[in-house]
Amino acid sequence: MSNTFRLLRFFLPLQNPVGFSLVDTVLFCVALLAITAILLRTHLERGLTALAAHPALAASLLATLPIALRLALLPHHPVPAPAVSDDFAYLLLGDTFAHFRLANPVHPLHRFFETVFVLQEPSYASIYPPGQGLVLAFGQLLFHQPWVGVLLSVGAFCAAIFWMLRGWVRPTWALLGGLFAIMLFGPLNQWTNNYWGGAVSATAGCLIFGAIPRLKKSPRTRDAILLGVGLSLQGLTRPFEAALIGVCLLPVVFRLPLKTLRTAALTLVPAILLTLAHNHAVTGHWTRLPYMESRLQYGVPAAFTFQSMPEPSRPLVREQTMDYDAQRDAHATAGGYWLRLAGRFKFLRFFLYAPLYLALLFCFPALRQKRYQWALACLIILALGTNFYPYFYPHYVAAAACLLLLLAVTGLSRMPRATAAILCILCLARFTAWYGIHLFGDANLYIATGPWQSWDYINFGDFEGRFTIDRQLANAPGQQLVVVRYSPSHTLREWIHNEADIDSSRVVTALDLAPEETVRLRSYYPQRNVWLLEPDRVPPRLTPYPSPAQ
């Protein structure tokens, strides 16, 4: 922090004499940026127009910029640490693919490794579909870091939304939409800073909703292939939402030439075969999704609201019981359909900055066009369909992100130029202020500015003590066995997570079961250093496991 202040004082020598705080400095820079943008509005518009005239260059810039902005934050905000069950389950999925297999064999001591969102039988595997896991495996294999796959998927999304919007609006407005995507879904967004993602499905939406207007105007093989790729990505990432998008496409696809439909259908074949093979490898059934197998065995994830909550068919360990109870309660208290739908409108702020709400109002005249009526209908179908989930997270409808930005950009294009410029500058100022705080600030500053934080999901501390435990294990020589002992007051925070090849991994985490069971576990791993992890202590404590004599 002191180095940052010294650097800031070098560039802003008046900081101390006038008593500027760091927040004052950031806000001053934002105000200066806004004034500059207003004064140079004409030049900025010309620059955007010139850049938009070179699609390849613009797309490359949009793909690179969110990655560069996030990498610039690494000194304060390191590579995201997995912290929730979804993170660990997706990382297991990616690690499994990185070992060039679809599922892992059942471990002989699998009862010690029971954890949320992971199957132990008939295979050891994550319960999630393959899409996000393939991205994580790509990052792991090529860069030895799964998170790189996440970063690349975000960059691909920001470039793809530019391509998608070019099929609907003028290139300059499409470029502006790509810049909004960077601000909204780039370095500070949770899709960039966790492992369950969202950008893969969002990219799929761009390919689908960008190919359709192009195919209606002039059917080409390239666009038919991109439509198939988009549907494949969506099906591999969010199968239920892919079915909803299929419903959206019904009034459109039958108006396309048969050759176009055949090309798109053939493009879908590899994804269908991969899904079937993955299902069979994980569950033993070609058509049974891992999600479905998890519901049969563990009762989670929760069923749709119109279904009864399933009962577990196997004994649950304590953490799984807590997760089942939480999901059962959410299912029971989900409320009425329309009340639940109304409560989810608050998630609009995940996809659009507040100034863009005004732009949505100016989009209404465009609804006289059938293609915009169809785009709005797609949004409605996705909202109504996903409303049958008792839970809701923005990545469920990530494929619709491009449609919301389409409506916002269309509204901006129909507003008076000066008003549209003001709204764009407000969005830029909002992003710049918050990014600047993250770039130069510390944890205390983030907490102090918390009321202005929207959906930022970025590491700025080690409140659960996971980093400390990981460092202690990393510094220990040889292979490690960590026995996790939860206290009676334990809350739902998962600490059992293992790699795809458990026995070959450097660190194995296992549940602390009955004493005689732990003896069996230690006998199975005689060469490992054995630790006792007590995660419910403050801070969590990692100590050598007591010998039987103790």
Decide: 166 and 62 in contact? Cβ < 8 Å. no
Decide: 509 and 498 in contact? Cβ < 8 Å. yes
**∠179-183-187 over CA atoms, to 5°?**
120
Structure token digits, residue 466: 């996971």
Per-residue model confidence (pLDDT) at position 429: 83
Verdict on whether the full-model pTM lies above 0.85: yes
Per-residue model confidence (pLDDT) at position 477: 95
Mean pLDDT of the chain: 89
Per-residue model confidence (pLDDT) at position 454: 43
Poorest-confidence range of 41-55, 286-300, 392-406? 41-55
N-to-C CA span, the chain: 45
Please write the tens of the pLDDT for every residue from 115-172. 999 999 999 999 999 999 999 999 999 999 999 999 999 999 999 999 999 999 999 9
Per-residue model confidence (pLDDT) at position 22: 54
Per-residue model confidence (pLDDT) at position 546: 87
**∠387-391-395 over CA atoms, to 5°?**
80
Per-residue model confidence (pLDDT) at position 19: 43
Decide: 103 and 124 in contact? Cβ < 8 Å. yes
Does residue 102 carry a pLDDT above 70?
Answer: yes
For 546, which DSSP code? P
Contacts of residue 54, Cβ cutoff 8 Å, sequence gap at least 6? none
b or e along 261-271 (b: 16 or more beta carbons within 10 Å of the residue's beta carbon)? bebbeebeeeb
In the predicted model, what is the mean pLDDT of residues 334-360?
93
- How many percent of the chain have pLDDT more than 70? 87
Per-residue model confidence (pLDDT) at position 7: 38
In the predicted model, what is the mean pLDDT of residues 461-469?
79
Phi/psi class of residue 19: alpha, beta or left (left: φ > 0; alpha: ψ in -120 to 50)? left
Please write the tens of the pLDDT for every residue from 384-442. 999 999 999 999 999 999 999 999 999 999 999 888 988 888 888 888 888 887 887 65
Please write the tens of the pLDDT for every residue from 275-292. 999 999 999 999 999 999
Structural domain spans, the chain:
466-544
Cis peptide before 548 (omega within 30 of 0): no
In the predicted model, what is the mean pLDDT of residues 331-339?
94
Does residue 235 carry a pLDDT above 80?
Answer: yes
